[in-house]
Amino acid sequence: MSAITMAFNFHYIVALVMCLIIISLSSFGISQSDEDLTKGASFIFGDSLVDAGNNNYLPTLSRANISPNGIDFKASGGTPTGRYTNGRTIGDIVGEELGQTHYALPFLAPNTTGRAILYGVNYASGGGGIMNATGRIFVNRLSMDIQVDYFNITRKQIDQLLGPSKAKEYVTKRSIFSITIGSNDFLNNYLLPVISMGARITQSPNSFVDDLLNHLRGQLTRLYQLDARKFVIGNVGPIGCIPYQKTINQLSEVECVSLPNKLALQYNARLKDLLQELNENLEGATFVHANVYDLVMELITNYAKYGFTSSSKACCGNGGQFAGIIPCGPSSSVCSDRDKHVFWDPYHPSEAANLIIAKQLVDGEKKYISPVNLRQLRDL
């Protein structure tokens, strides 16, 4: 056999093997360009704790696309992306830990089109809340109702990309729906002086929490009707312990403001009951409860155990004992040891804190994440 014939046969065999691989992948409903889709997608809803840049595209007073935000975000080379922290959000880290190859793109970003949406979409918005009135102090923000409206658009696009049958399977079995919302409903609605005073005079805390949970029930049910089946819902953190609250109330390092924390705990107890109700009543769905309150309180109380030097002072901010009055921006003082602070700015955790929280959500025990952790949820 001549060398030319042998070379031809070799290339023919290689081509044949490649064809067989492609055919076998296709038989499992996976094309070459779909291979990454086996890792699944994250669809992220919420507020500034997980906003990845939606507010960049809104005329709003709540924005994080200014320096030094994002200074440690490797994917952008340290330039601001609209994330309200120095690096990755909890949503970013959870996606990485679950093996997803792309960060969920902000829904409002112009490049969130075509096949990019199959890796996940982020609808979260700084200032957003469960109630549509929440965050109006910022002029514009995406409430949870609007975020679900936007997912409805994405859901139709997934049908167009994959076909209805494969799209439904992808959304129900390979997608996790993450909801981190509720803090603004207290901080930038119920607890706001003047702006919400009318509502507070006529509405008790119990009644307000009732309203929140009734709205959230409807929003989660709408997502279920759009084929969402794997949910993780974070409760409200210890909002009375953030640097902003400590500063304006002139507290000591170890004190927290009691009323915001009391309201958060009241809401959180009822949220847990709601998720149990939905697990029982919405067939085929799994609603996972993320105990963010206890996770963050653990970091605040025992910060030295986790390698932090401060759990009360904002790394980036100005004003008062805890740099907690003026939000993080170009004129802010910035600490040099960013990974040693629990809080990046007057309101939001640092990437170092987000990393600890996210890893507990992915692989943690039932006191923090139940009835299953997020790795188990992905594999259901």
Residues marked active site are found at 48, 345, 348
Distance CA 128, CA 62 (A): 10
How far apart, in Å, are the Cα atoms of 311 and each of 90, 138, 201, 296, 359? 18, 27, 34, 10, 19
From the number of C-beta atoms within 10 Å of its C-beta (0-12, 13-18, 19+), residue 42 rates as buried
Distance CA 252, CA 201 (A): 30
Quick one: the chain helix, strand, coil %, rounded to 5?
Answer: 50, 10, 40
DSSP E strands: which ranges in the chain? 41-46, 105-106, 120-122, 175-180, 230-234, 286-290, 316-317, 333-334, 369-370
β pairing state of 230-234 and 286-290 = parallel
Distance CA 379, CA 291 (A): 21
DSSP E strands: which ranges in 28-166? 41-46, 105-106, 120-122
Residues forming a β-bridge with 333: 317
